[in-house]
Structure 1
Amino acid sequence: MTAHRERKPYRLAVAIAATMLLIAACGSDDVPETDIPAPPPETESPAEEAAAPATTTTEPSIEGTTVTLITHDSFNLSDGTLEEFTAQTGVTVELLEVGDAGTLVAEAILTKGAPLGDVLFGIDNTFLQRGLDAGIFERYESPALAGVPEDLQIDSRHRVTPVDYGDVCVNYWKDAVPWEPVTLDELTFPEFADQLVVQHPETSSPGLAFLLATIAAFGDGWELYWEDLRANGVTVTAGWEDAYYGEFISGGGERSMVVSYASSPPAEVIYADPPTDTAPTGVITESCYRQIEFAGILTGTDNEAGARALIDFMLSETWQNDVPLNMFVYPVIEGATLPPEFVEHTAVPPHPLMLDPAEIEANRDTWTERWVEIVLR
């Protein structure tokens, strides 16, 4: 076993290590958007109606305009992908990377009505409700949503559009565990003592996702579960990279289990040095929490037509087929092409865990504070 050889960090490491959850103090007092009934249309007399000339309206041309896409600093696409959008529409895309995902959402809330850009990409279901409650998005239902499964379209008012998704799961090093675990309960068994490393849920996106997974799985018993994990020697890092490339065997550490992603095993194969055809890691599929990443048109944009075109393009084959190997996530469009490594080495969770975004928003701070009391004090 080459457990302690160094491995080249794959691009997902950048994507996740950057996603610190920094918006806990940036709540908004804005009320949620509500449906306002439209006033009745003005009526004309028959004479006025007969005299009124016929009118037609045309959409303003977007060719030659620019759309600013605000995103996190782990955003990545292949060269030529955004240029293809420009070739199709005549619209140039300018990228504005504002930091991690938490900063991204906080900045959008602070600049509501006078946004720094036109489209925001990178808000996920963990913090979605905060953005929706703040009213930072315009409604838009892309025609391409017809190809997206209903269970990924969790905002029925179409203020945001699902673009990709991934599953946060416990990964294990196959050659270093007494058996390949399949349940969350096994992580508390004495045979797995001092083997699990997790991330802090207040500073790490996968750390928060794993906490939410335990709440979804155990309900009111989640606190007892974490007490058992602590008694069994769980260790905590600030972020994903510290866990995966510090404490976990993949980066030379001693721990055989880590909170990571369902897409981590194929990444181990893709970036293996020396090359390998077999993933050295496995996934506990019953531990997986689904994260859906969304894009939305920002309220106050001065190029709404161009923003809509970019949302449509995010659901095109060009974009959807490009995201797996660039951000190690899954495309949302049914029938999108997956790289062979994803097909061969990814364990797809049959029933990924999820919580309602409104429930997360209402309880997140309480849950994380209680987690700190149980695990770190």
Structure 2
Amino acid sequence: MSTTPTRTAAALGALALTLAGCSLTGGGGDDEAGDGGEVTVVTHDSFALSEDLLAQFEAETGYTLTFVAPGDGGALVNQLVLTKDSPLGDVVYGIDNTFAARAVDAGVLEPYTSPDLPDSAGEYVLDEALTPVDVGDVCVNVDHQWFADAGLPEPVTLEDLADPAYRDLLVVTNPATSSPGLAFLAATVGAFGDGWQDYWADLADNGVKVVEGWSDAYYVDFSGSEGAGLRPLVLSYASSPAAEVTAGGGDPRTGALLETCFRQVEHAGVIAGAQNVEGARAFVDFLVSADVQADIPGQMFMYPVDTDVALPEAWAAYAPLAEEPHDVPAEQIAAEREDWIAAWTEIVIG
């Protein structure tokens, strides 16, 4: 197991605060952003930032932060929609570009894009209610050691994953409940067009396993992280191998299949009906500040949207973004997402 935290492992501190019903306590500094009080931050379960940065936010603004984490990115948006009339909090982080349209169309967000957004993030802005915070490629990860021990060549492409040579080796997440799952479904639509359903039928016949969220896929079923799972192929991120670098700096046993990727962008926004609108806006601004952007790679293993931020040294070798990720326009995702999920469910789940 790596000494560098992965997205979920790094989030445990924030989740502990939530489960304990506690909040961070700031230093009661100058209340420059508003009248102070509590700001409830709703996130997916892989949110993590350094505690000193969160404490600094509280000290400088006079706000007190409380965190609520209802699940993976898909579950996060589902809960925002279901609780629209009684909002879970003031500000949300973790709505990605595959679920963004659902949140916007459901009216769960107030119009606000941070004026502090770096110029390099402009290409990722989807709507005035969303502020892009970080970027990552959702890709299939491979356990190099497993394949070496088995004497089996590693797959490279999406097509390879449906080859009988790799039967019962892949675990993915459900696109109805998981934002990486929906991103991977979009990758297959981008790669195969109208033939994506046939491709998923082939994957189903080849024994693909489906779980609800990323944590179960990566930590329970995958053989390459903590080594306890039985499947050497898992849906994760291109940056995940950088989290598996050994304590002595040795090469990780995992890698990303960069021909299987979809580019995911995660956003923050002010929740409609927020009790503390000014605090919510201040937190959105905080997420695109230079200090937080520099903290994101080491805490959440995503690329910051601010390209001026220096990346960890290991990322050049072990966390490259795909040169040609599979792409589907955001408007197509918005128009066809529900039909995709319904068809996928019938094909794969039955």
| TM-score w.r.t. length of structure 1 | 0.76
Deviations 1:81-121 (A, max 9, x none): 12222344x33132230411445334433554764533222
Give the letter for the 2:348 counterpart.
Answer: V
Partner residue, 1:30: none
Partner residue, 2:175: 201
8 A contact 1:152–1:162 mirrored in 2: yes
Q: Are residue 256 (structure 1) and residue 229 (structure 2) matched?
A: no
CA distance in 2, matches of 1:253, 1:328: 22
Q: Are residue 126 (structure 1) and residue 98 (structure 2) matched?
A: yes
Change (3 A) 1:205 1:364: same
CA drift of 1:303 comes to: 4.2
Q: Are residue 233 (structure 1) and residue 201 (structure 2) matched?
A: no
Deviations 1:247-300 (A, max 9, x none): 33222334322211111101111xx4x644212112111211122111112234
Q: Are residue 187 (structure 1) and residue 158 (structure 2) matched?
A: no
CA drift of 1:135 comes to: 2.2
Partner residue, 1:167: 137
Partner residue, 2:299: 326
Partner residue, 1:85: 57
CA drift of 1:325 comes to: 1.9
Q: How many residues align?
A: 324
CA drift of 1:362 comes to: 3.4
Deviations 1:301-323 (A, max 9, x none): 45444433322221111111112
Change (3 A) 1:93 1:284: same
Q: Of 214, 222, 241, which aligns to 1:265?
A: 241
Superposition pairs of residues 203-352 of structure 1, within 5 angstroms? 203-250=177-224, 251-269=227-245, 272=246, 275-301=248-274, 303-352=276-325
- Give 3-state SS (helix, strand or coil) of 1:297's partner: strand
Q: Which runs of 4+ in 1 moved over 6 A?
A: 6-9
- Give 3-state SS (helix, strand or coil) of 1:286's partner: coil
Q: Are residue 12 (structure 1) and residue 21 (structure 2) matched?
A: no
User: More displaced, 339-348 or 329-338?
Assistant: 339-348
CA drift of 1:69 comes to: 2.4
Q: Of 332, 345, 348, which aligns to 1:359?
A: 332
Unmatched tracts of structure 2, length 5 or more: 13-30
CA drift of 1:7 comes to: 6.8
CA distance in 2, matches of 1:339, 1:213: 27
Higher Rg: 1
- Give 3-state SS (helix, strand or coil) of 1:99's partner: strand
Deviations 1:49-97 (A, max 9, x none): xxxxxxxxxxx96355133323234322111112222344x33132230
Change (3 A) 1:195 1:62: closer
Change (3 A) 1:260 1:85: same
Q: Are residue 74 (structure 1) and residue 46 (structure 2) matched?
A: yes
Change (3 A) 1:367 1:277: same
Partner residue, 1:57: none
| TM-score w.r.t. length of structure 2 | 0.81
CA drift of 1:201 comes to: 2.6
- Give 3-state SS (helix, strand or coil) of 1:154's partner: coil
- Give 3-state SS (helix, strand or coil) of 1:123's partner: strand
Superposition pairs of residues 9-158 of structure 1, within 5 angstroms? 10-13=5-8, 62=33, 64-66=35-37, 67-88=39-60, 90-100=61-71, 101-112=73-84, 115-155=87-127, 158=128
Give the letter for the 1:164 counterpart.
Answer: D
- Give 3-state SS (helix, strand or coil) of 2:51's partner: coil
- Give 3-state SS (helix, strand or coil) of 1:368's partner: helix
Change (3 A) 1:189 1:301: closer
- Give 3-state SS (helix, strand or coil) of 1:253's partner: coil
CA distance in 1, matches of 2:333, 2:106: 15
8 A contact 1:16–1:206 mirrored in 2: no
8 A contact 1:16–1:205 mirrored in 2: no
CA drift of 1:226 comes to: 1.7
CA drift of 1:333 comes to: 0.9
Percent of aligned positions with the same letter in both sequences? 44
8 A contact 2:74–2:176 mirrored in 1: no
